[in-house]
Amino acid sequence: MDILRRSLLGFTLTLALISLKAQDTKAISEVFSSSYTYEYDGNYAEAIKVLKDIYDPDSYHINARLGWLSYLSGQFTESAAFYQKAIELKPYAIEARFGLINPASAMGNWGQVKSQYIYILNVDPQNVKANYYFGLMYYETKDYAQAALQFERVINLYPFNSEALLMYAWSNFQLGKTREAEVLFNEVLIINPGNASALEGLELIK
């Protein structure tokens, strides 16, 4: 009888825990729904407040969401801190690392931006977004050879990506590879007729 009594007690406790978890999930879901509504209305302060009212430091989703909302509201330091916490909770995910790039860029923390892109590309070497924006970083710092490599990876995967193709053309132009740049600028004009930057590049090659 003792064994039966203990089994029934354990079963009852399990049901109670499941019920509590369902209630918690419903409550959190309602808060997230409210935060989306406030965000849509541009009321970022209230969207942040409702999430902070249920803040759980061990919740990846709450930290990542607060990172995004804090970024939108211009609170870049707070945004970076929330994203960093989300990264610590799920270190293999690249989602929060992309999120962290936003406030880091806004604060001019290019070292942190670069380290996140490097990590993302180590995990996912074919990631189009990371390769493209990493290429832009290299281009802005006049490392045109590395920029060309990043843009080439993108257009090998997506030949119709006119933005990456255009930057690949400019990278080649900056490297003095005018013949290659001319071909690439003309490719840009095929898929994006009248592109002003491609036309400018062709004028400079003449």
CA distance 27 to 42: 23
Residues 27 and 105 reside in one and the same domain: yes
Q: Residue 181 maps to which CATH number?
A: 1.25.40.10
Supply the pLDDT for residue 206. 81
In a domain, 106, yes or no: yes
Residues 119 and 140 reside in one and the same domain: no
Residues 141 and 107 reside in one and the same domain: no
Tokens of 195: 């592109």
In a domain, 6, yes or no: no
Residues 167 and 196 reside in one and the same domain: yes
DSSP 122: H
Residues 138 and 120 reside in one and the same domain: no
Residues 142 and 98 reside in one and the same domain: no
Which residue, chain included where needed, has tokens 């255009």? 166
Domain interval for residue 87: 23-124
Supply the pLDDT for residue 13. 45
Tokens of 38: 């406030």
In a domain, 1, yes or no: no
Residues 44 and 111 reside in one and the same domain: yes
CB–CB of 14/6 below 8 Å?
no
Burial class for 51, CB neighbours closer than 10 Å (0-12, 13-18, 19+): buried
Last residue of a domain, one of 77, 92, 124: 124
Residues 107 and 34 reside in one and the same domain: yes
Last residue of a domain, one of 72, 101, 124: 124
Ordered per-residue pLDDT tens for the chain, 206 residues:
455 444 444 444 444 444 434 447 878 888 888 889 999 999 999 999 999 998 889 999 999 999 999 999 999 999 999 999 999 999 988 999 999 999 999 999 999 999 999 999 999 999 999 999 999 999 999 999 999 999 999 999 999 999 999 999 999 999 999 999 999 999 999 999 999 999 999 999 98
Tokens of 81: 């801190």
Cβ neighbour number for residue 85 with a 10 Å cutoff: 19
Closest CA to 65 of 111, 52, 183: 52
Supply the pLDDT for residue 105. 93
H helix count then E strand count, the chain: 11, 0
How far lies 34's CA from each of 28, 46, 47, 51, 158, in Å?
10, 9, 7, 9, 38
Residues 157 and 104 reside in one and the same domain: no
Residues 167 and 109 reside in one and the same domain: no
Closest CA to 171 of 206, 203, 197: 197
Report the domain count for the chain. Answer: 2
Q: For the whole prediction, is pTM greater than 0.85? A: no
